[in-house]
Structure 1
Amino acid sequence: MSGKLYIVGTPIGNLDDMSIRGLRVLQEVDLIAAEDTRHSIKLLNHFEISKKMVAYHQHNEQQSSEGLIDLLKQGQNIALISDAGMPLISDPGSVLVKNCVANDIALEVVPGPNAGLCGLVLSGLDTRAFLFLGFLGKENKAIKEGLKRIEASEFTVVLYESPHRLPKTLEILDQHGLGHRQMSISREITKRYEETRYGTIAEHRHYYQEQAPRGEYVLCIEGRTADEGNAAAGLELESLSLEEHLEYYLNTGLPEKEAMKAVAKDRNISRRDVYNAVKR
C-alpha cells in the first residue's frame, strides 16, 4: 500500500504554537520534505526530533515532487512543511499535492498557524468573506492584475508583503485611487514585537515614509465601498446596459459569478435577474 502525505502547519513565530498532533506526525513519519532544511532543523532541534529531511522548494518543486511520489508509492509516510505557517499558502506544495491526488495517494492535513488568517481576525474589517492574494508581485503585469482585483473586490483583501517592498506597495495602492480605504497592517504576528496598525492606506503610506519597516507584514484592505460601487469607476450606471455593466466587472478580472453579484448589488436587483438578462 502507498504511504500518506501529511501537510503540517508549523509556527509562524512563537514555537509554543506547534500542535501536539503536529509534533507526533513529525516524529513518526519516515521523511520530512522542508522548504528550507537549514531553517526547519531549528524547529526539529527545539523539539528534540531527529528525522531525515529533504529540500522541497519553489526552484525544485517539480523534480522533487516526482521523487517524493515514488517514495510514497513505496509505502513511506512523508510530512510536508514550509518555513512557517501552512504549506501551499504562498509557499511550495501545490505540485506535490496535485500529484498525490492524481496518483490516489492519501493526504492528511495537520492544521497550524496562518499569518493571513491571523491578520484578518486582527483587522477589524469584515471577515465573513475575504479575497487572499498573497504577494502583490514585482512585475508590472502581476501588479496591474492585482490592483484590478483589489479595486473590484467587495470583500476584505488579504496581502503579504516584505519589509523592503512595503513602502512601494503602499504607494502603488494609494496612487491607484485606493488611499481612502481602511487597512490594517500587522507585523511579526505571534512574535515578541507583534504590532497591528489601523488607518487608511494613505495614512499608512505617510507613516512608513517616516518609519523604516521591520518584519514580515500582513495587509488587510477594506472591500469596495458603496460609493465606489455606485460610481462604477466614474460611469453612470443608468447609462449602462446590464451587458455593459457586467463587462466592466469582467474586465477588472472578476470571475463571471462574482461580476454578476457586483452588478446585482450596484443595481439593487437579484443575481438571477442579471443572469436571465445577459444569458438570453
Structure 2
Amino acid sequence: MKQRAEPDAGVLYVVGTPIGHLGDLSPRAKALLLAVDTIACEDTRHSGQLLSSLGSTARRCSFHQHNTRTRLPQLLAELEQGRSVAVISDAGLPGISDPGEELVAAARAAGHDVICIPGPCAATTALVSSGLPSARFCFEGFLPAKGRERRERLQQISEHPCTSVLYEAPHRLVQLLDELEELCGPQRPLQVARELTKRHEQQVGPTVEAARLHFHAQAPQGEFTLVLGGAPAPRKETHDDQYWRDQLQVLIASGLSANAAAKQLASGGDRSKRELYALLHQEEPPSSTAHSSSTAIPERSDCAQSDRD
C-alpha cells in the first residue's frame, strides 16, 4: 500500500524521540523532522542537538509548561496558514505528562488534523520490562508535590487492583518510597527504572522495601519510572459446614422453611442453595469428646448394606 506523503499542510505531528538510545529514532520520525516547517521543542537547546545531528533546518520554537499561553495561539496560527508543525519533548512521546497534550487538544478543537509518529515512551518501556501484570494498568505520571492532594492520590494508588506507573524526580524519590512502604506495605511488588535504553540502565526491586533500602543507601540520580504492583484481592472469609448448619437452623427457627432458608443464605454468594440445602440432610460430624464406650460396632452385614446404598 502506498504511504501518504508527509508532511501535509496545516497538520500537527506529534513525534516520539529517543528516551536514551539515539538508535530508537524511527526512519519515519527522522524524515518528518527533516521535512516539517516548524518544530515546537520542550527545550530548544536540548532538542537542538538532536535536530542538528539530523540536519534539520526547520524553524524551532520553545514550547513548555511556562509559555503555553503565548505559544498556543502562535502555533495554531501557523497551522491555519498551511504550515506543517511538529511537536517534540526532551525525550519520549509528547503529550505524556507534558504540554503537548494541550497543543493536541487545541489543534483538534480548531479543526486541524493531528498525526502521531509513534516512538519510545518511558512508561510503557518500564512497564513491559518490569515483569508485573500489564494487561490492565493505570498511568499516574507525576504526583502532586505535597499536601493533602498528594496523600489522597497515593491512598487511591495503594488501593488500586491494577499495576500503576508513576514518574518521579530524583529529589523526591526517597520520600515517595517511604510513603509507598507506609501505604502499600514493604512486600508490595515494585520495580524502579532509571536510565532506560541507556548504557547504564537500571531496574531496582522487586519490592517496595528492597527499592527503599537501595535508594536510602545510594543517592538517586536521573529521572525515575516506578511500576507498582496492584493491591492484592482481599481475603474472603471462609466458614466450615457447621457454621452454615447453624445459620440454617437459626433461619428455620425464625419460621422459614428449609428451602427458603437455604435460598436466603445462598444470596450472599458464598455457597449455592443446593449445597446449603444438602447440609441439612447430612449428619453432623461426631465430636471427639462425645464417644461413648457403649457405642455399638455395626454388624458386617450393615456395613455391606451401607456400601451398596
Letter in structure 2 aligned against 1:40: S
The separation in 1 between residues aligned to 2:162 and 2:87, in whole angstroms, is 31
2:84 counterpart residue number: 77
1:51 counterpart residue number: 58
Of structures 1 and 2, the one with the larger relative CO (CA 8 A, separation 6+) is 1
- Alignment of 1:160 with 2:195, yes or no, is no
Contact 1:116 1:158 in 2 (8 A): yes
Residue 206 of structure 2 aligns to a residue in which SS? strand
1:234 counterpart residue number: none
* Count of matched residue positions in the alignment of Structure 1 and Structure 2: 232
Contact 2:130 2:227 in 1 (8 A): yes
Cα shift readout 1:236-266 (whole Å, capped 9, x = no counterpart): xxxxxxxxxxxxxxxxxxxxxxxxxxxxxxx
Shift of 1:137: 2.5
Q: Find the partner of 2:208 among 185, 201, 211.
A: 201
Residue 84 of structure 1 aligns to a residue in which SS? coil
The separation in 1 between residues aligned to 2:184 and 2:89, in whole angstroms, is 35
Letter in structure 1 aligned against 2:233: A
Shift of 1:230: 5.4
2:240 counterpart residue number: none
Q: Which moved more, 1:100-109 or 1:173-182?
A: 173-182
2:114 counterpart residue number: 107
Gaps of 5+ in 1: 232-266, 269-280
The separation in 2 between residues aligned to 1:176 and 1:189, in whole angstroms, is 27
- Alignment of 1:172 with 2:171, yes or no, is no
TM-score (norm 2): 0.72
Gaps of 5+ in 2: 1-7, 238-268, 271-309
TM-score (norm 1): 0.79
- Alignment of 1:218 with 2:225, yes or no, is yes
Cα shift readout 1:59-85 (whole Å, capped 9, x = no counterpart): 111221111101100100000000000
Contact 1:151 1:178 in 2 (8 A): no
Task: Specify the structure having the higher radius of gyration (Cα).
Answer: 2
Q: Find the partner of 1:35 among 19, 30, 42.
A: 42
Contact 2:123 2:165 in 1 (8 A): yes
Shift of 1:189: 0.2
The separation in 2 between residues aligned to 1:8 and 1:221, in whole angstroms, is 28
Identity of aligned residues (%): 41
2:100 counterpart residue number: 93
Q: Find the partner of 2:127 among 112, 120, 124.
A: 120
Letter in structure 1 aligned against 2:64: H
1:275 counterpart residue number: none
Shift of 1:206: 1.4
The verdict on how the C-alpha distance between 1:2 and 1:201 changes in structure 2, with shifts beyond 3 A counting, is: same
Shift of 1:211: 1.1
Letter in structure 1 aligned against 2:125: C
Letter in structure 2 aligned against 1:113: P
- CA-atom RMSD, angstroms? 1.8
